[in-house]
Chains A and B, each alone.
Chain A
Amino acid sequence: AQSVTQLDSQVPVFEEAPVELRCNYSSSVSVYLFWYVQYPNQGLQLLLKYLSGSTLVKGINGFEAEFNKSQTSFHLRKPSVHISDTAEYFCAVSDPLFGNEKLTFGTGTRLTIIP
């Protein structure tokens, strides 16, 4: 069975500072990896995804993530955050056999930007 661990439930960061949100996964098979963002009272929006190929993935809003197979990690980074980045961020994994229609999510990291 697959599982996703987001160790940090809350991350406060000053505006214009860099941020890294950590994600580790556990799976006995190859996986697809995703990061989603959820703004208050909204659904989820896909930030970026790793399916195969280059381990450095660039997404929307200046975010990027690096797939590290040996450490089973998929950490999300942004070099300079803005107030508008305040939201909850979810890492998710799926089995390629199921495409991305059956996602296993982490518990989320609430990112708070301090002015």
Chain B
Amino acid sequence: KAGVTQTPRYLIKTRGQQVTLSCSPISGHRSVSWYQQTPGQGLQFLFEYFSETQRNKGNFPGRFSGRQFSNSRSEMNVSTLELGDSALYLCASSFPPPGTGDRYEQYFGPGTRLTVT
């Protein structure tokens, strides 16, 4: 079974630009969560999507947004990039169909490393 894939793996952007990151969950998983990882703030929850609806949201400014498509693939967008947005962005998929897996295990992708210059 293929794991969680994230594209691109590395990205360099300039302050003020916007960026879109993509996450493909494990086949059949219905939930996708996004996290930001930085040396200073550690791992912080951004938001979670389930069946195309945002269910949970962390404490990030409105410049951070996301969406989920009918095939459960998810994208997150950051507008007006700031230097502090440089981070590793991780997505995780969970919530397999009943009887097919552990409801409480999240599978993380390798992340997208975003550098803002």
Q: How far is the CA of A43 from the CA of B93 in the complex (A)?
A: 12
A-B interface pairs (CB < 8 A), number: 61
Q: Which of A42-85 contact B (CB under 8 A)?
A: 42-46, 49, 51
| A90 to chain B: closest residue by CB | B43
| A94 to chain B: closest residue by CB | B104
Interface string of B24-62 (1 = CB under 8 A from A): 000000010101000000111100101000011010000
Cross-chain contact A108 with B42 (CB below 8 angstroms): yes
B111: chain A residues within 8 A (beta carbon): 42-43
- B81 nearest CB across to chain A (Å): 23
A99: chain B residues within 8 A (beta carbon): 94-95, 103-104
Q: How far is the CA of A99 from the CA of B103 in the complex (A)?
A: 9
| A46 to chain B: closest residue by CB | B105
Q: How far is the CA of A51 from the CA of B103 in the complex (A)?
A: 11
Beyond A101-B31, A101-B55, A101-B56, is A46–B106 a contact (Cβ under 8 Å)?
yes
A25 interfacial contact with B, CB 8 Å:
no
Q: How far is the CA of A32 from the CA of B56 in the complex (A)?
A: 17
Cross-chain contact B106 with A103 (CB below 8 angstroms): yes
How many residues does chain A have at the interface if contact means C-beta atoms less than 8 Å apart? 23
| A46-B105, A102-B45, A108-B42 given; 12 more Cβ-contact pairs under 8 Å | A41-B110, A43-B111, A92-B43, A98-B56, A99-B94, A99-B103, A100-B105, A103-B33, A103-B43, A104-B45, A105-B35, A105-B42
Binding site for B on A (CB under 8 A): 32, 36, 41-46, 49, 51, 90, 92, 98-108
Task: Show 30 A/B contacts (Cβ-Cβ < 8 Å), sorted by A.
Answer: A32-B104, A42-B110, A43-B92, A43-B108, A43-B110, A44-B90, A44-B108, A45-B108, A46-B105, A90-B43, A92-B43, A99-B95, A99-B103, A100-B94, A100-B104, A100-B105, A101-B33, A101-B48, A101-B50, A101-B55, A101-B106, A102-B56, A102-B58, A103-B33, A103-B35, A103-B45, A103-B106, A105-B42, A107-B42, A108-B43
